[in-house]
Structure 1
């Protein structure tokens, strides 16, 4: 079975060639990146290195979902002192907010262009988020039988909506997000090919 478009005006578009089932994250080729303005004049970029995610593919796009949990303590901005300050009680307060979690509510699109609406939770605050998703395709990694599916998702959040309004003027309000994700085909689907 394949993940099909929910857009009836584009029903002639080819379906994504994804077998139904649970696609697990391929962590070595996946990344959660972000950027935020510093002093309003430049950007600080970083990533989170501890990410758990899965893609559940149903019979149709509306029957499919994505969930992800990110350990905020795994932040890496390329500067250990800065990372330690961001994680402290003065800023992010990772003791109070150990994780960031996403759960999709709606997936729609066709061909390579998709959108995903869902809920993002940071600490005790949950807000709606929409991501633009580009489907990169499906390939078999050399030496493996399971196929890899690639996606790029982009979006942004406003810090104040999650109670993270510390350091106004020093840090920008908008955090831009870029996800590069690979998922592994369910083993049972690979065995049937």
Structure 2
């Protein structure tokens, strides 16, 4: 029988990120939600969602950090009004039945600038686990509102079929690449 003890996993605390505990407020004017999907397998259609909310709660430890987001699917914008109307229709996203896409984090890990965020993504009433790579852009004092601002870029891929979005196989790719650029303003009561 071996007497070796297993190596301890390093514990990462919020102290690794210079973020004050509390609710961080989304700065929607400096945030975006973008996506790309292959068309006919030879090019990509790119778009964005223009209506979304997000929340960041920083606790005393990394296990206490929570990220949430809600996206209005009807706000899809690919730069083509006819295509956007078709995308909203019952034939594709069916925004009457599936008005929102929501995300709720379940685990965050990493260090420095590179992090991983696992969570549950729901489109309509179908939920599936996803993992996003997160790059921490840093934190600065804003001269505009005199609060600390923190920036993050989260990227990942989701499979349409996981959410029952099986329309037009072959015409549209199965993978959707997503990118979220988010800026949050720190708690009003934090020290400067």
Give the TM-score of the pair, scaled to structure 1: 0.92
CA distance in 1, matches of 2:147, 2:61: 22
Corresponding residue of 1:60: 61
Q: Which residue of 2 aligns with 1:72?
A: 73
Instruction: Tell me, yes or no, if the aligned pair for 2:12 and 2:109 is still in contact at 8 Å.
Output: no
Map 1:108-187 onto structure 2 (within 5 A): 108-187=109-188
Q: Secondary structure at the match of 1:131?
A: strand
1:87 match? 88
- 2:51 paired residue number: 50
CA distance in 2, matches of 1:90, 1:124: 17
Question: How far did residue 11 of structure 1 move?
Answer: 6.0
- Look up the SS of the partner of 2:60 in the other structure: coil
CA displacement, residues 97-117 of structure 1 (integer Å, 9 cap, x when unaligned):
000000000011110110000
The alignment partner of 2:98 has SS state of coil
**Which runs of at least 4 in structure 1 moved beyond 3 Å after TM superposition?**
7-12
Structure 2: unaligned runs, 5 residues or longer: 1-7
Question: In the alignment, is the contact (CA less than 8 A) between 1:140 and 1:146 conserved in 2?
Answer: yes
CA contact (8 A) 2:69 2:102 kept: yes
Aligned CA RMSD, in angstroms, stands at 1.7
Give distance in 2, aligned partners of 1:110 and 1:129.
20
Distance of 2:129 and 2:188 partners within structure 1: 33
Query: What's the secondary structure of 1:188's corresponding residue?
Result: coil
Corresponding residue pairs, total: 185
Contact 2:12 2:62 in 1 (8 A): no
Structure 1: segments with no counterpart, 5+ residues = 1-6
